[in-house]
Amino acid sequence: MPTNEGELSLIPSERGWFVSLDVMGQRLPVSYGDKTPGVLGLKNHGNTCFMNAVVQCLSNTDLLAEYLGLEQYKSDISQRRINGVVKTEETSQALGEVTEQLAALVRALWTLEYTPQLSVEFKMIVSKYATQFRGNSQHDALEFLLWLLDRIHEDVNSSSPSSCGNDRSKTCGKVHSTVQYISVLVFFRSSLTCPHCLKQSHTFDPFLCISLPIPLRQTSPHMIFTLCLQLAPDDAWKCPHCKQLQQGMLQMSLWTLPDILILHLKRFRQVGERRNKLSTLVRFPLTGLDMAPHMVKRSNSSQHAQDFLYDLYAVCNHHGGMHGGHYTAYCRNSVDGQWYGYDDSSVEPVPEGEVCTRGAYILFYQRRNSIPTIGL
pLDDT, position 360? 95
Among 8-17, 27-36, 263-272, where is mean pLDDT lowest?
Answer: 8-17
Spatial distance between the Cα atoms of 302 and 253, rounded to a whole number of angstroms? 19
Q: Which of 98-102, 272-276, 361-365 has the lowest mean pLDDT?
A: 272-276
**Is-catalytic flag, 294?**
no
Tell me the mean pLDDT in the region 84-97. 61
pTM score over 0.85: no
The pLDDT, as a whole number, for residue 136 is 87
Contact in structure between 288 and 259 (CB atoms under 8 Å):
no
Lowest pLDDT segment from 41-50, 107-116, 135-144, 245-254:
245-254
Angle, CA 212 vertex, CA 340 and CA 188 arms, to 5°:
115
Mark 264-279 as b/e (b = at least 16 C-beta within 10 Å). Answer: bbebbeeeeeeeebee
Mean pLDDT value across the chain? 75
pLDDT at 216: 54
DSSP category for residue 287: S
CA within 13 Å, CB half, 124: 8
For residue 87, pLDDT beyond 70 = no
CB atoms within 10 A of CB 241: 13
Active-site residue, from 45, 294, 319, 326: 326
Residue among 45, 49, 241, 356 flagged as catalytic = 49
| Rounded percentage of the chain residues whose pLDDT exceeds 70 | 62
Q: Does residue 206 register a pLDDT over 60?
A: yes
The whole-number average pLDDT for the span 160-183 is: 40
Give the chain's domains with CATH numbers.
7-367 (3.90.70.10)
Give me the phi and psi of 48, to 5 degrees please: -100, 20
Taking alpha carbons only, the member of 181, 227, 240 closest to residue 62 is 181
What pLDDT, in 10s, does the model give residues 209-254? 888 887 655 444 444 554 444 445 555 556 777 766 666 566 667 7
More confident residue, 376 or 244: 244
What average pLDDT score do residues 11-40 get? Answer: 58
Check if 326 is active-site.
yes
Position 347 pLDDT exceeds 50? yes
How high is the pLDDT of residue 252? 65
DSSP string, 89-126: HHHHHHTTHHHHHHHHHHHHHHTT---HHHHHHHHHHH
Q: What's the confidence (pLDDT) of residue 166? A: 36
Q: Mean pLDDT across the stretch 255-275?
A: 82
